[in-house]
Amino acid sequence: MSPRVFSRPATLVGHRGLGKGVVQGHRENTAGSFLGAVDAGLRWVEVDVRRTLDDELFVVHDAALSDGRFLAELTGAQAERYGALPVHRLLDVLPPEVGVVFDVKSSLEDAGRPADSTTAALLGTVATESTRRRPTLAQSFDPAALRQLRQAAPRVPLGLLTWLHFPIGQAVAAAAHLDIQVLAVHAGSLWPTTAAEPRDVPSLDRIVALVHGADRELLVWCPTAEQARHLVTAEVDAIVIDDVPAQVHQLSAGCPA
């Protein structure tokens, strides 16, 4: 059995710090937002990772910045002038007991790079060093990025991300047969929606049992407050939350940070 990534009951993880957008005056993916999540009681944060033209890694979610310029076309110095946060600087200011979930964003430019020069491979060195200081997980929507990470950082736990309304059966089956430790699904895959008939969505308890039976952990990202309470009861392993202060308050009785 693989060593556990998250402790139980469910670990709360701050989405881009305190949450998507601006929460309590802090913009997402800034040092203030991440430190605010720590102050709110969290011991894990989710960190988006992209690269610049000169192969520097930054904490940025979207490929393009607010003025439309692509991060991949800027140098690290230019990105900093735009206010983007270098990954190394975030790791320097985060307390060492705070775990990091790196969300690797493959870029269009990665298609023309050798496997050992992709964004994921670059992160491999950083993630390996991170595991020596703090709990660490690297995850991606891109299965090829996970393979590149495994080659570059064989000791770093990995997670497979799936997007909104991705069929849960395919996600669970894929995670069971990939060299990863965590399946990270959007909450939209776990409940019936206009994109998923009720008969096609197994019960939450069954999903959790199958993931755990495959010796994998289940992380769920961006649930509503009501969904988060159900996730805690179902004993998922981790929940990535927005609006951290409100969610921590609502879940504190049944879901320690």
Q: What is the structure's pLDDT at 249? A: 87
* Residue 87 reports pLDDT greater than 70: yes
Asked if 66 and 122 touch (Cβ cutoff 8 Å), the reply is no
* Residue 257 reports pLDDT greater than 50: no
- The answer for 215, left when phi > 0, alpha when psi is -120 to 50, beta otherwise, is left
Tens-place pLDDT, residues 119-157? 999 999 999 999 999 999 999 999 999 999 999 999 999
Q: What is the structure's pLDDT at 218? A: 98
Q: Please give the single-letter amino acid code of residue 243.
A: D
> Angle, nearest 10°, between helix axes 168-176 and 204-213?
10
Locate the domains of the chain by residue range: 11-42+157-251
CATH code for residues 11-42+157-251: 3.20.20
Q: What average pLDDT does the chain have?
A: 93
* pTM metric for this prediction: 0.94
Report the alpha-carbon distance of residue 192 to residue 199 in Å, rounded. Answer: 8
* Residue 255 reports pLDDT greater than 60: no
Q: What is the structure's pLDDT at 159? A: 98
Give me the residue label for tokens 């775990």. Answer: 99
- The answer for 176, left when phi > 0, alpha when psi is -120 to 50, beta otherwise, is alpha
Q: What is the structure's pLDDT at 197? A: 63
* Residue 247 reports pLDDT greater than 50: yes
SS3 content of the chain, % helix, strand, coil (to 5): 40, 20, 40
Query: 251 or 147: whose pLDDT is higher?
Result: 147
